[in-house]
Amino acid sequence: MKSYLFTFLFLISILTIYAQVNQEIGLVYSKNTQNLTNQYVGLYSAKSNIEKSQDLNNVRTHDGKSKVTLEKRRRDSLINVWTQESETFYIIMDSIGDFNKYNLAVYKAYNKYGIMDDLGNVVVEANSYNYAIENDGYVLLMDNKNQPTSLFCYNTKKREGYLLPSVIQFNSEATHYGKVMLPRANGLLVTYPNNTSNVLIYDLNAQKIQDTFDKETFLKTLQKNDIIEIYNRNLQVKIDKNWYELGEGIGGGIHPIFYNNMLYGFLNSYNGKVFSSDYYSYFGAFCNGKFQIIENEKQFWMNLDGLKFKENTNEGGVYTGNSTFEEVNNIEYKILQEIDGNKVLVLGDKQLPILDDFLKLSSH
């Protein structure tokens, strides 16, 4: 009986110990599990924070690159806009001469000549005339350099132009104006038409051919003063052994003389001296104490004493404006002006800042 009781008590003790052991094992397991869970949550949270940080950096980097890209696109767009607009300021022409004090110059486009002001405004279109000369504020546009049949005069001071009358109104036998000399400040223009025994002297201010002089009365005076030996009933002058036609005076006492409608030379009616055309090819109108002369195909200026000069003051004056014409390529020019210390493109009443200034202004 005692032995059963002992066995029963022993089993109870064993079961009690087993239960306690299981309880402790459970507590340990539960505690370890919670620690692992906390560690996992911590690691996950840290990973999330790292990923968020990386995402934020990526966003910032992307935003920076986007900003640079957008700025480059904006700059490229502005450059494109400026380039397209600047091309509307270009002037198609071959070349342009010096501007005078009236801000006008002769320009050439497609081998034709016209007149332009310093803002690029066309005054006379370059579409009809193949040659041009300018002097003392007058521009002459001609259809041909050597044998012109059409002359257009433009007075740059008055800003008006007109077509000269046909040469046949001067002489019905003439077919062209011949050699055209420079217009002078007094408004006189001298040309040497063909098939005639006279020069054409045109008054550019009065817009008419200069009235002919009383040749017979003039020849009587010359003979009386021993400037010439004799003249005949045809009002021809005898020089040496030949008879010559005396032409209109071009000023300074100089008269051309002709033989069979060919220029022979020039008579100085003050002293009787004859300038041979073999040496003095042409005389222009006398003005301000000088003639324009062509000597051996070269231009000079000569005073009444026979002194020669290579240069003469052009009464058209010197340009004092603000425009500079720059060649863009072989057929285009642009005009630059300095306004308030900054260079700008100009054309007529339009203005455009140069590219650098345009970009600076557009960034504000």
pLDDT along the chain (364 residues), means of 10: 39 42 38 37 37 46 68 88 95 97 98 98 97 98 97 98 96 97 98 97 96 94 95 94 95 96 96 94 97 95 95 97 94 95 96 92 77
pLDDT in tens, 17-40: 344 434 443 433 334 334 433 433
Owning domain of residue 75 = 1-87
In a domain, 49, yes or no: yes
Q: What is the per-residue pLDDT for 68?
A: 80
3-state secondary structure the chain: CHHHHHHHHHHHHHHHHHHHHHHHHHHHHHHHHHHHHHHHHHHHHHHHHHHHHHHHHHHHHHHHHHHHHHHHHHHHHHHHHHHHHHHCCCEECCEECCCCCCCEEEEEECCEEEEEECCCCEEEEEEEECEEEEECCEEEEECCCCCCCCEEEEECCCCEEEECCCHHHCCCCCCCCEEECCCCCCCEEEEECCCCCCCEEEECCCCEECCCCCHHHHHHHHHHCCCCCCECCCCEEEECCEEEEECCCCCCCEEEEEECCEEEEEEECCCCCEEECCCEEEECCCECCEEEEEECCEEEEECCCCCEECCCCCCCCCCCCCCEEEECCCCEEEEEEEECCEEEEEECCEEEECHHHHHHHHHC
Do 156 and 42 share a structural domain?
A: no
Do 152 and 83 share a structural domain?
A: no
In a domain, 297, yes or no: yes
Domain boundary among 66, 87, 108: 87
In a domain, 215, yes or no: yes
Do 144 and 15 share a structural domain?
A: no
Q: What is the per-residue pLDDT for 37?
A: 35
Do 46 and 176 share a structural domain?
A: no
Do 166 and 46 share a structural domain?
A: no
Q: What is the per-residue pLDDT for 64?
A: 60
Domain boundary among 309, 329, 353: 309
Q: What is the per-residue pLDDT for 66?
A: 72
Q: What is the per-residue pLDDT for 63?
A: 59
Q: How many domains does the chain fold into? A: 2
